[in-house]
Amino acid sequence: MIILKIILTTIHVVLSLFLIVSILLQSSKGGGLAGTFGGQASASIFGPRGAATALSTITQWLAGGFLILSLVLSLMAGAGTQSESVTQKVLEQSTSSQLPAVEDLDLGGPAVGTETAPVEEAAPGTQGGQ
């Protein structure tokens, strides 16, 4: 499995280098953002799309391969991991003698097993000093 990851990672790096080169070799088509809002370039934006050149087709295939290979590599990287709670790990590693007793914990409320007096409710009509 590790050999397959190494081979796929090597192919991914080579594919990304070819993708970078193919993008940089393409000629610019309209002067960027400045040509979009005025001049002769704006008339060609809505015109019919010309036939794709061989370089742009190669770039599309390289980008698709890069995307698919990235997804495969990320799935392979996450396949061997198992998510587990940090608290669960600590509880499994510690023995019961190392953990404090429940009765010794100060939880900020009344102690377990103690009775509290019920809260008396005001009679209707006595609210607000009436």
The one-letter code for the residue type at 8 is L
pTM confidence score:
0.49
Per-residue pLDDT at 56? 86
- d(CA 63, CA 20) in angstroms, rounded, equals 10
% of residues, the chain, pLDDT over 70: 58
- The token pair at 88 is 């669960």
- Checking if the pLDDT of 51 tops 50, the result is no
Q: What is the pLDDT of residues 23-45, one digit of tens each?
A: 888 776 655 444 445 544 444 54
**What is the residue type of 32?**
G
Give the pLDDT mean for 6-14: 95
